[in-house]
Structure 1
Amino acid sequence: MKNILINSIMIFGVMTFLNFVMSILIVSLLNLPGGSYGMAPFLILMEGIIVSVIGFITVLIFKKSYHSMIRIAVLFEIIYLFSLIISGFNPFGSRDDHFFSVLTYANSGIVLLVIYLIDLINSKISFSKDKKLP
């Protein structure tokens, strides 16, 4: 990675967007009522933007420590899960809103896995390019 700041903005943006889209998919697939769940994806989008700003400031301060895509993604994930806990997404219970909260936490894990797979593919491609160079 040549410019860690641009890559961190890209990673934060992709992770925020994926969390937002997956929460929209949850609401639509579970046929949850629009009144109580319709704005939840936008709350997740706002949380993702706030987490991205906090994460970007952290990367700016500790630029030398965040040199890989995975470290930046894990930083986003830790801050995102902490913000979900603070905002009241309680996954324990039997009602629909608790089930939605469990799926929101699962979405964040899936997004981290997607970013890990993208990094793995990217590193394999760059390794094969480096191997072919004389």
Structure 2
Amino acid sequence: MRDKVLGYWTLAWVGLIGNIIALPIIALIVSYGPPLKVANITLAISVGWPAAIVGIVSASALLAEKKWGITLTLVSLSMIISGTAPYSIFRLVALKDIFGIGGFTLMSSLFGILALIYWCNPKHRRSIRL
């Protein structure tokens, strides 16, 4: 019998929908404006879109109850945190952008850290899934 893990299905659906929505949002941020235009394009191509695509695949695997979905989710969240945390800190320091893109990326990196802590729970790996 499976262990009941609180929030598994909710966070899997939120991850799938959030990563699908992230693709056009990243494109919007790239075309946002001149401050840090090169950094926006570089991070979108190298980290943003790949992390969102890996997130879509991992959320789909979680919904299909594949064990490797948890591992892929940890990889996707690590990619998100490694891209958004330094970018948001630099944007906050250089542009004082707390209520704009800098604040938005800081909140997304904090939510990514919380999600990473949740998915590192050993109960996910002990449950009987395909």
Please indicate, yes or no, whether the TM-score normalized by the shorter chain is above 0.5.
no
Rg bigger for which structure?
Answer: 1
TM-score normalised by length of structure 2: 0.42
